[in-house]
């Protein structure tokens, strides 16, 4: 009764597509093509790892995310982390709001009864 179609067949075009794994130069150990970016669009995650110095980075991915996006994101994150580590004294943004921004307007309430 319950015949299930298995959609396990891949559309084999004959030519090998460019593999999803893309390799870049590591910004930490500076090895060429040691960084691999793997994008899992199904899971919506992208993983970056350097096989030489074992640096890792994980980010979100969508259908538009390319390996280079993750790579540049990683550079930005590493750069920010480095800057953060260098500045021992972090300016604490204490945005303690002395005044409430949104004051509930209860002027219209008509106390009739
Ligand atoms: Zn590395």
Q: What is the CATH number of the domain that holds 51?
A: 2.20.25.190
Q: Is residue 104 part of a domain?
A: no
Q: Is residue 57 part of a domain?
A: yes
Whole-number Å distance, alpha carbon 84 to ligand 1 midpoint, is 20
Q: Is residue 12 part of a domain?
A: no
Tens of pLDDT along 20-64?
569 999 999 999 999 999 999 999 999 999 999 999 999 999 999
Phi, psi of 74 (to 5 degrees): -65, -40
Which 3 state secondary structure label does DSSP give 80? Answer: helix
Q: Is residue 108 part of a domain?
A: no
Q: Is residue 88 part of a domain?
A: no
Task: Look at the block and give the residue holding tokens 């309430």.
Answer: 109
Q: What is residue 69's predicted lDDT score, i.e. its pLDDT?
A: 96
Whole-number Å distance, alpha carbon 11 to ligand 1 midpoint, is 36
Q: What is residue 86's predicted lDDT score, i.e. its pLDDT?
A: 87
Whole-number Å distance, alpha carbon 34 to ligand 1 midpoint, is 6
Q: Is residue 38 part of a domain?
A: yes
> Computed over its alpha carbons, how large is the radius of gyration of the chain?
25
Domain residues for the domain of 76 are: 22-82
Dump strand ranges (E) for 2-86: 22-24, 35-40, 45-50, 56-60
Q: Is residue 34 part of a domain?
A: yes
For the record, the structure tokens of 44 come out as 């919506």
* Overall number of domains in the chain: 1
For the record, the structure tokens of 16 come out as 């090998």
Tens of pLDDT along 85-96?
988 655 566 555
């Amino acid at each position: 009764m319950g015949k299930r179609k298995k959609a396990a067949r891949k559309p084999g075009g004959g030519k090998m597509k460019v593999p999803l794994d893309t390799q870049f130069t590591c910004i930490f150990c500076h090895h060429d093509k040691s960084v691999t970016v793997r994008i899992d669009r199904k899971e919506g995650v992208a993983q970056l790892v350097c096989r030489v110095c074992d640096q890792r980075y994980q980010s979100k991915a969508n259908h538009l995310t390319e390996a280079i996006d993750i790579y540049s994101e990683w550079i930005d994150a590493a750069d920010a982390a480095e800057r953060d580590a260098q500045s021992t004294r972090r300016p604490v943004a204490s945005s303690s709001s002395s005044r409430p921004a949104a004051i509930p307007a209860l002027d219209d309430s008509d106390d009739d009864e």
